Structure 1
Amino acid sequence: MVGLGEFLSILCAMLWAFAVICYRKAGDHMPASTMNLFKISLTMLLMIPTVILTDGATPPEMPLQHWALMLFSGLVGIMLADLFYLRALQMIGAGLTGLTGSLYSPFVVVLSFFYLGERLNAWQVMGMALVMIGVLVISYRRKSLTIEHPPIKGFVFAALGVFFTALGIVIIKPISNEIPFFWIITIRSIGGLIAMVLFNILMKKSLNVFKVFKAKGRYWLIVGALLGQYLSTMVWVAGYKYTSASVASILNETASIFILFLGWLILKEEVNQRKILGAVISILGVLCVLYFSNGGFH
């Protein structure tokens, strides 16, 4: 049977895919820095009662270096990663930004190899390759790219977003089993919020998150923040907690399949044979990873 970690990793991909659609709609009406500060603030507000009701109001006892690592994980994995990703969405759109998602599992696999000593077997590597090929097939475009912003800059921003997301989760994997689950989310959110506030101050950007409620696209941002920052983050970290980082990262890439479906359903984007072929290839890759991660389906 599919393990809990694998199930949560795929569920995370579904939630994140819907959030990406929401962020793309909201990004037409507000800057990335405003969007990021709002969604981190909303997550922090929701996590306070969540952690009190689940893990208690008393912070976990852990070494100072663990606190520093968790806060740093929030800085790179929430503040930097989402800021770069949201800006990339505005610059080159969801389809092309999604293309860089194929870098996620290679980033995690490489980081896990050096930092955690994790290894993939040959079949899991093949599954990762199939997922990446499927994502590339789905994201391929024949039309020329927009020149309103240099495309290369948008791709670099998206790649940085993916890399910092991978880095933020891999570095806390060794201590994730020692810390209550909801405190992991809360401490990371604190790190992300502090970093985002300092960034906006240094860049002389607005700290008023309430103006979002008057902006067009506010409902898209609120729904995206609830699903993509609050719920998705919890499911995402839980996936890494209950399976290997390498396997979880590969399954997270199925978000591209869900983005394809939701883009057709909500944004009325075209679904052609090439995209369907890419989705099928990715699904085969996911099944390959799942099968050889759990000794077969039972």
Structure 2
Amino acid sequence: MNIEQKGIKMALLTALISGFAVFINKFAITNWASSSVFATSRNIITAIFLIAFLVSLKKFAELKNISRANWIKLALIGLIGGSIAFLMFFKALTLMSSTEAALIHKTLFLWVALFSYPFLKERLNLWQFAGLALFASAIFMPGITGTWTFGSGFWLALGATILWSAENIIAKITLKEVSPTVVAWARMFFGSMFLAVFVIATGEARALVPSSLAQAGWMIFSGAILFGYVTTWYYALKHSPATVVSSILVIAAPITVFLNSIFVTHTFPTRTIVPAIIMVLGILFISKQFEHLYSKYIKRRESAYS
């Protein structure tokens, strides 16, 4: 298995974590009076986990060798992806369903594809373009969600998604010289600092301390999930094209829809079956697996008969 395929497998793991994360955060956020306080406290927990992870891997020595230009990029990653986008997305979660929020977030691949061409010079072949088309058709397929509500929640979630796509472009460039673990740490460390400044400025600093065991439990649980997300995501982003790995994240959407249907609406999500199948086909196309199978079996068989 080559490095790119390992990155793709890690992106699949990230998608699984993401599918659970959006659903769980919808419940977690109800225990907090402010979405910004929840985002800040959770991100601080994730940053602490990542500091411990850096220590265990003996990665702190790497920080001494990071150039000034890369420190600026790491700070930007924290500002854009680790703070502003979180503030917007978690506010959106208080205004809309987890299903809608998840689907909007999974349009990430469209924005990454748009930015990757001019900034990363990524090129896709026809098979991969077919994969993008399959993802787009699946995520916008009528029935995967109920009715779209184009209110402030929609625009906040969309704005956050576009910011995350910009952050991913900066991260992809930074990952050429900085390890995935350090980039993940920087995103959450600097992001937590920016969020803390925001919370202090809005007079909500006291609310950062959990007032109940339920709050503390949700904060730690959600922070642990985010730790899993960022550590797997930046590994995937380093070793595989940004357009490819962001496309694979789409599979998280039906996971969130499924969880919401089972635990919230108590109905079996039959509407998600066809979109989920289309998304799996999209993964086979975007990851070049279908191209590989075609070359290995179909094309070889055609040559044998010719």
TM-score scaled to structure 1, two decimals? Answer: 0.89
Q: Which range is displaced more, 266-275 or 90-99?
A: 266-275
User: What letter is aligned with 1:135?
Assistant: I
Distance 1:132 1:215, change over 3 A: farther
The 8 Å contact of residues 77 and 168 in structure 1, kept in 2 or not, is answered as yes
1:100-179 paired onto structure 2 within 5 Å: 100-137=104-141, 139-142=144-147, 145=149, 151-179=150-178
Distance 1:49 1:114, change over 3 A: same
For residues 133 and 101 of structure 1, the distance between their equivalents in structure 2, rounded to whole angstroms, comes to 15
For residues 282 and 269 of structure 1, the distance between their equivalents in structure 2, rounded to whole angstroms, comes to 24
1:248 lines up with 2:250 in the alignment: no
Aligned to 1:66: 70
Q: Aligned to 2:221, which of 217, 220, 223?
A: 223
| 1:237 shift after superposition | 0.7
User: What letter is aligned with 2:65?
Assistant: E
For residues 117 and 206 of structure 2, the distance between their equivalents in structure 1, rounded to whole angstroms, comes to 39
Q: Structure 1: which 5+ residue stretches go unaligned? A: 146-150
* Matched residues, number: 290
Distance 1:114 1:69, change over 3 A: same
Distance 1:282 1:222, change over 3 A: same
The 8 Å contact of residues 29 and 215 in structure 1, kept in 2 or not, is answered as no
1:1-298 paired onto structure 2 within 5 Å: 3-30=5-32, 31-58=34-61, 59-137=63-141, 139-142=144-147, 145=149, 151-211=150-210, 214=212, 216=214, 218-227=216-225, 229-291=226-288, 295-296=292-293
Distance 1:264 1:221, change over 3 A: farther
Query: 3-state SS of the aligned residue for 1:254?
Result: helix
TM-score scaled to structure 2, two decimals? Answer: 0.87
| 1:262 shift after superposition | 2.5
Map Cα deviations across residues 142-196 of structure 1 (whole Å, 9 max, x no partner). Answer: 4x85xxxxx4211110001111111112112123132233222222222101110
| 1:201 shift after superposition | 2.3
Query: 3-state SS of the aligned residue for 1:33?
Result: helix
The 8 Å contact of residues 55 and 183 in structure 1, kept in 2 or not, is answered as no
User: What letter is aligned with 1:237?
Assistant: Y
Q: Which range is displaced more, 240-249 or 27-36?
A: 27-36
Q: Which range is displaced more, 218-227 or 3-12?
A: 218-227
Map Cα deviations across residues 95-118 of structure 1 (whole Å, 9 max, x no partner). Answer: 221231342101111111121111
Distance 1:101 1:269, change over 3 A: farther
| 1:132 shift after superposition | 2.2
User: What letter is aligned with 1:6?
Assistant: I
Distance 1:27 1:208, change over 3 A: closer
Aligned to 2:302: none
For residues 269 and 218 of structure 1, the distance between their equivalents in structure 2, rounded to whole angstroms, comes to 28
Query: 3-state SS of the aligned residue for 1:178?
Result: coil
For residues 154 and 229 of structure 2, the distance between their equivalents in structure 1, rounded to whole angstroms, comes to 24
The 8 Å contact of residues 44 and 190 in structure 1, kept in 2 or not, is answered as yes
For residues 45 and 291 of structure 2, the distance between their equivalents in structure 1, rounded to whole angstroms, comes to 37
Q: Identity, % of aligned pairs? A: 20
For residues 10 and 145 of structure 2, the distance between their equivalents in structure 1, rounded to whole angstroms, comes to 28
